[in-house]
Amino acid sequence: MRLRSFHLICALLALALVVLAGCGKSGSSGNGISSKGAEEIVKESKAAADAATAVHVSGSLKSGGAPVTLNLSLVAEKGAQGEISQNGASFKLILVGNTAYISGSPSFYRSLGGSAAAQLFKGKWLKASATSGEFASFKQLADMRQLIDTTLAAHGTLVKGATTTVNGQPVIAITDSAKDGTLYVATTGKPYPLQIAKGGSESGTITFSNWNQPATITAPSSSVDLSELKALAGH
């Protein structure tokens, strides 16, 4: 998996999250969301998510037939921290402001630059700008509200389904036939998105959990600056 494929992965995550899932503490009293229309339910769910300060995103989906798994903590206006993997090549990701840090497994570094890269970067963090270049694709993951706004904004015709439960929480299902997926919204407490299951060639399920629960985003104490390596290589 080379860096140029990260753009595809991040774009796919953004599209797939339209049919993704969020899971938060919702309390015990009904919020009346199930009596509203499908469009209004999605609108109010988006507003609840936008007002949150933190969330945890986890799950998997398919990219080109291969599973992509993610496990990330997002903190509004601060960044993200967690792990992403594809085809057994995993890497840890930390986004702090406009800076991205990546620490990959040996298989990840081999896919990035062969055996030499696997040896050179073993156990090390790579540092680069998240606003341009190879790591720019990860910037959207650092902006929690932008990611949520993007994923819940574009959709086809929405149809309100039945009430059910997700992870023991009561929800209302909203189906989007154009995207081949179902969004589940909490019907108690705040109407957070609870879960989205996506079908078709990009099938998978992503969960948003730990809404508003504090998460620490910390840059590694040491890292290899890719911009400096490129400058040296240019001489």
For the chain, list the domains and their CATH numbers. 4-216 (2.50.20.20)
pLDDT band of residue 27 (cuts 50, 70, 90) is very low
Chain centroid to CA 84: 9
228 φ, ψ to 5°?
-70, -40
Span 149-204, pLDDT tens digits: 665 655 678 899 999 998 888 999 998 877 778 888 999 989 988 887 887 777 88
The token pair at 232 is 């040296």
Pairwise pLDDT comparison (177 vs 225), residue with the higher score: 225
Cross-strand bridge partners of residue 19: none
The token pair at 182 is 């179902």
Pairwise pLDDT comparison (227 vs 162), residue with the higher score: 162
Burial 74-99 (b: 16+ CB within 10 A, else e): bbbebbbbbebbbeebbbbbbbbeeb
Q: Is 217 left (phi over 0), alpha (psi -120 to 50) or beta?
A: beta
pLDDT of residue 125: 92
Mean pLDDT of the chain: 77
Span 34-65, pLDDT tens digits: 999 998 998 899 899 888 889 888 888 776 77
Could you tell me the sign of the dihedral formed by the alpha carbons of 203, 69, 15, 19, in that order? positive
Spatial contact of 23 and 167, defined as CB atoms under 8 Å apart: yes
Spatial contact of 55 and 211, defined as CB atoms under 8 Å apart: yes
How far is the CA of 157 from the CAs of 16, 145, 181, in angstroms? Answer: 16, 23, 11
Spatial contact of 231 and 81, defined as CB atoms under 8 Å apart: no
pLDDT of residue 29: 61
pLDDT of residue 98: 86
Helix 4-16 and helix 144-153: axis angle, to 10°?
60
pLDDT of residue 230: 56
Span 71-88, pLDDT tens digits: 999 888 888 999 988 777
What pTM does this model have? 0.77
Spatial contact of 81 and 215, defined as CB atoms under 8 Å apart: yes
pLDDT band of residue 107 (cuts 50, 70, 90) is confident
pLDDT of residue 171: 92
Q: How many beta carbons lie within 10 A of that of residue 36, not counting itself?
A: 17
